[in-house]
Amino acid sequence: MTELAGLLPPVSLRRGLSYWLGSYRALTRWHLAGLRMWLMLLTVVQVMTGAGFVLGFALFFDHIPASAALFVSTGVPVINLVVVGLVLGPQLVAQQKLQQSYDFVRALPVPQSAAAVAWYTVCLLAGLPAVAASLLIAEARYGIAFTVSPAIVPAVLLTAFTGTMLGYGLGHAVPNPMVTTLVTELMIFAVFGFAPVVYPPWQLPSWLATLNWWFPFGHMAVIVRAGLTSGMVTGIASSYVTVTAWGIIGVAVSAWALVRRG
C-alpha cells in the first residue's frame, strides 16, 4: 500500500507568502532568461535614444533656453522609465498570442499577482540604466545641477509601475495582436510629442493641455521633475493622485483580463 504514495500528486500548498515569493523569484528569472540577449540590446537602445533626445533637442533652437534644457533633461527619464512596460511589454504579449505560447504562459502554476510584480521588476531594471545615462548626459551637455531629493524614489517607482501596469492591461485585455501593436505605436508618439513630458504644458493649445490633465503622462513628468529639481513644479500631490489612479486602472484591467476564463 505504501508504494501508492509515489503516485499521488504532490501535496505542497500553492498559496501563502513563501509560495508567492518563490513564484515571484522564478518568474523574474523566467523573464530575464527569456529576454537575455534582448535585455543588453534593449538597454543600449534605451541609453542611445535617451542620450540622442537630450542632445538632439538643442538643435531645435539657435541657443537653447535654460528652461527648455531643464524640461527636456527631466522629461526624457520619464520616457526611459515607461517605454519598456508601456510599449515593449504589450508587444511581447501580442507576440506570445501570435506564436500560441500565450496559453502556456498563462497556465503556469503561479499567482497572477506574482507574475505581474515580476514583470514590473524587469521593466524597472530595464529602464534605470537609461535614466541614469540621460541625466548624466544632460548634466554634461547643459551644465544642469540637479537637486536630487528623496522624493525621486517614490516618483520613479510609481511612474514605472503605472506605465508597466497600463501596458500589462493593454497586452492582456486586447485580443488582437495587430491592434495592440498599433495602439502602442500611437502611444509612444503621444507620450513623446503630444503630452507635456519634455516641454511645459503651457506650450500646448489649452484644449490639449486640459485633455492631458486627465492622462497620466504629464503628471509622471511632474512627479519625477519634483524629485530632480526644487521649486520648478507645483501641484505635486494631485499629480501623485492621478498617476496612482491610472496605475490602479491598469491593475484592474489586467486583473479583469487575467481572471476571466477564455
Partner 1 sequence: MSTASPLPLSTVTRSGPGYWLASLGSMTRFEMGRARQWAALMVVIQILMGAGIAVMYGFFYPRVTHLTALYLTTGTPALALIPIGFVLVPDSVSQEKLAGTFDFTWSLPAPRSAQAAATFLLFTTLSLPGAVLALAVASWRYGVRLDISPLIVPGTVLCALMAISVGFGMALAISNPLLINLITNALMFVVLLFSPIVIPPGHFPGWLLTADRALPFYNMAEVIRAGLCTGLVTDLTRSYLILAAWTAAGWAMTAWVVGRRK
> Does position 192 bind partner 1 by CB under 8 A?
yes
Q: Which of 38, 61, 214, 256 touches partner 1 (CB under 8 A)?
A: 61
211 or 245: CB nearest partner 1: 211
> Does position 38 bind partner 1 by CB under 8 A?
no
101 or 203: CB nearest partner 1: 203
> Does position 175 bind partner 1 by CB under 8 A?
no
Number of Cα atoms under 13 Å in the Cβ half of residue 161: 17
Binding range to partner 1, per CB under 8 A, among 55-63, 131-139, 146-154, 167-175: 55-63
129 or 201: CB nearest partner 1: 201
> Does position 222 bind partner 1 by CB under 8 A?
no
116 or 138: CB nearest partner 1: 138
Q: How far is CA 92 from CA 9, 131, 142, 180, 212, in A?
A: 33, 22, 36, 10, 27
Binding range to partner 1, per CB under 8 A, among 56-64, 94-102, 136-144, 171-179: 56-64
Q: Where are the alpha helices (DSSP H) in 84-150?
A: 89-99, 102-106, 112-142
How many secondary structure helices (H) and strands (E) does the chain include?
Answer: 10, 0
Report the amino acid identity of residue 189.
F
Site size with partner 1, rule: CB under 8 A:
20
In the complex, the smallest distance separating the C-beta of residue 107 from partner 1, rounded to whole angstroms, is 30
Residue carrying the nine cell digits 540577449: 37
> Does position 207 bind partner 1 by CB under 8 A?
no
Q: Which of 59, 107, 145, 237 touches partner 1 (CB under 8 A)?
A: 59
Question: Which residues lie closer than 8 Å to 179 by C-beta, 6 or more apart?
Answer: none
Binding range to partner 1, per CB under 8 A, among 22-30, 117-125, 199-207, 223-231: 199-207
Site string for partner 1, 67-86 (x = CB under 8 A): xx------------------
Note the residue count of the chain: 262
Which of 236, 244, 222 shows the shortest CA–CA distance to 158? 244
Which of 127, 123, 164 shows the shortest CA–CA distance to 46? 127
> Does position 215 bind partner 1 by CB under 8 A?
no
From its phi and psi, is residue 143 left (phi > 0), alpha (psi between -120 and 50) or beta?
Answer: left
In the complex, the smallest distance separating the C-beta of residue 206 from partner 1, rounded to whole angstroms, is 13
Q: Which of 16, 22, 40, 189 touches partner 1 (CB under 8 A)?
A: 189
Beta strands in the chain (DSSP E): none
Binding range to partner 1, per CB under 8 A, among 25-33, 64-72, 162-170, 224-232: 64-72
From its phi and psi, is residue 16 left (phi > 0), alpha (psi between -120 and 50) or beta?
Answer: left
Q: How far is CA 139 from CA 64, 72, 172, 215, 223, in A?
A: 14, 12, 39, 29, 19
Binding residues for partner 1, rule: CB under 8 A, are 49, 52-53, 56-57, 59-62, 65, 67-68, 189, 192-194, 198-199, 203-204
